[in-house]
Amino acid sequence: MSSGDGADSGMASADKMKKLKELLHKSDNRICADCSAPDPKWASANIGVFICLKCSGVHRSLGTHVSKVIAARMNAPTETNICLTQVLSVSLDQWTDEEIDSMIEVGGNSYANAIYEAFLPEDYHKPHPDASQEERANFIRSKYELQEFLKPSLRIVSNKSSLQSTDSQKDVDNASHSVSFSSEAGMVEFIGILKVKVIKGTKLAVRDLISSDPYVVLTLGEQKAKTSVIQRNLNPVWNEELKLSVPQQYGPLKLQVFDYDMLTKDDKMGEAEVDLQPMISAATAFGDPDLLADMQIGKWLMSPDNALIRDSAVNVIDGKVKQEVSLRLQNVESGEVDLELEWIPLNQ
């Protein structure tokens, strides 16, 4: 290697180090990704999160195939941070280029949590900085090893891990569903999270003697999410929020309404599709919504080719990209469903 090549390599490494330091000092990376403790001094290079000392201990116990823990500060290594079980404990200057690239590619705690906590139940309480070791360990294992807060069809199947949930085990044979921030062959790259608030149904079809027991199923690619069943109601009010990860190559959001039957197959009560392109394209064009005043940035127009009841505007409201959608159900005698969409990009 010539001296010029060495100099170029050194400059590239220095540039990566600068980007990693900038990432480290972003506000969302100044608290632990798992318990919100301030000033985290460790990082999981393969997951892409900054974590505190207490949480790093649990991460180490998962094994490096799940979480590879590295010191995230400029301090030189000491006896207190030299660890076993293949855990790297090094100063920031000793990170490899691959580890730096991995952290930068993920983008930090908020982006990683948007995936790993995308389906965290609203009433679930994450551990706090003073949580017990047992509470901390249970949450971290559920989040990263069992991946309970990912949509089941998106869970990463690791043939090195001895622990897998039932839903994840179903995917072992084809290993086709995975979550990734990279664009490697065979992996799915996600560009954002779609929150869908299923508000209500109106004049839904009768599928029992005089009424129905409706619920809504949303499908995006190979992901599915559904609302609760509302008994004996043709004008149900759900007000339930469902979340779906949006892949780089996305199609329409498909909505189906079913009548729940305990003894027989659930009856169809209509369907519709939502074109996500107007919302995502408008949000991409306008950039960070936190920097915008409340305003309309796009519109999905009603036409004979879609299920819209009226034009659907894409708005920035309080720094969030939202869209209200009213749909007339197709392939059924009657029925309408109202939704509210919210778009959360992963690359801002």
pLDDT greater than 80 at residue 183: no
Residue 244, CA distances (Å) to 225, 316, 346 in order: 8, 20, 13
pLDDT bin (cut points 50, 70, 90) of residue 160 is: very low
- Which residue in 270, 200, 264 sits closest to 230, CA to CA? 200
Q: For residue 241, give every residue at least 6 positions away whose Cβ sits within 8 Å of its Cβ, in sequence order, or none.
A: 122, 195, 196, 197, 198
Q: Residue 151 and residue 26: Cα distance in Å, rounded?
A: 28
Q: Residue 181 and residue 189: Cα distance in Å, rounded?
A: 5
Mean pLDDT score of the chain: 80
Higher pLDDT, 187 or 271: 271
**pLDDT value at residue 126:** 92
Q: Residue 264's Cα: distance from chain center in Å?
A: 34
Q: Which of 183-192, 205-214, 217-226 has the highest mean pLDDT?
A: 205-214
Residue 95, CA distances (Å) to 57, 69, 92, 311 in order: 19, 11, 6, 52
pLDDT bin (cut points 50, 70, 90) of residue 161 is: very low
| % of the chain exceeding 70 in pLDDT | 76
Q: Residue 327 and residue 336: Cα distance in Å, rounded?
A: 6
- Which residue in 225, 334, 323 sits closest to 279, CA to CA? 323
Higher pLDDT, 153 or 300: 300
The pair of three-digit structure tokens given for residue 288, joined into one six-digit string = 């960070």
pLDDT greater than 90 at residue 70: no
Comparing 11-20, 35-44, 239-248, 286-295, which segment has the lowest mean pLDDT?
11-20
Rg (C-alpha) for the chain, rounded Å, is 23
The pair of three-digit structure tokens given for residue 184, joined into one six-digit string = 């490697």
**pLDDT value at residue 347:** 62
Q: What is the pTM of this model?
A: 0.51
- Give mean pLDDT, residues 155-184: 35
**pLDDT value at residue 26:** 86
Quickly tell me which residue has 């994840």 as its tokens. Answer: 168
**pLDDT value at residue 22:** 84
**For residue range 75-113, what is the model confidence (pLDDT) as tens digits?**
333 333 323 222 333 344 467 888 888 888 888 898 888
**For residue range 32-66, what is the model confidence (pLDDT) as tens digits?**
999 999 988 888 888 889 998 888 888 887 776 66
- Which residue in 35, 206, 13, 32 sits closest to 101, CA to CA? 13
pLDDT greater than 90 at residue 320: yes
| % of the chain exceeding 90 in pLDDT | 42
**For residue range 322-334, what is the model confidence (pLDDT) as tens digits?**
999 999 999 999 9
Residue 152, CA distances (Å) to 157, 180, 332 in order: 11, 15, 30
The pair of three-digit structure tokens given for residue 125, joined into one six-digit string = 């309480």
**pLDDT value at residue 85:** 25
Q: Residue 75 and residue 73: Cα distance in Å, rounded?
A: 5
Print burial letters for 304-332: b (CB count within 10 Å at least 16), e (below 16).
eebbbeeebbbbbeeeebbbebbbbbeeb
DSSP 3-state helix, strand, coil percentages of the chain (rounded to 5)?
25, 30, 45
Contact 166, 153 (CB under 8 A): no
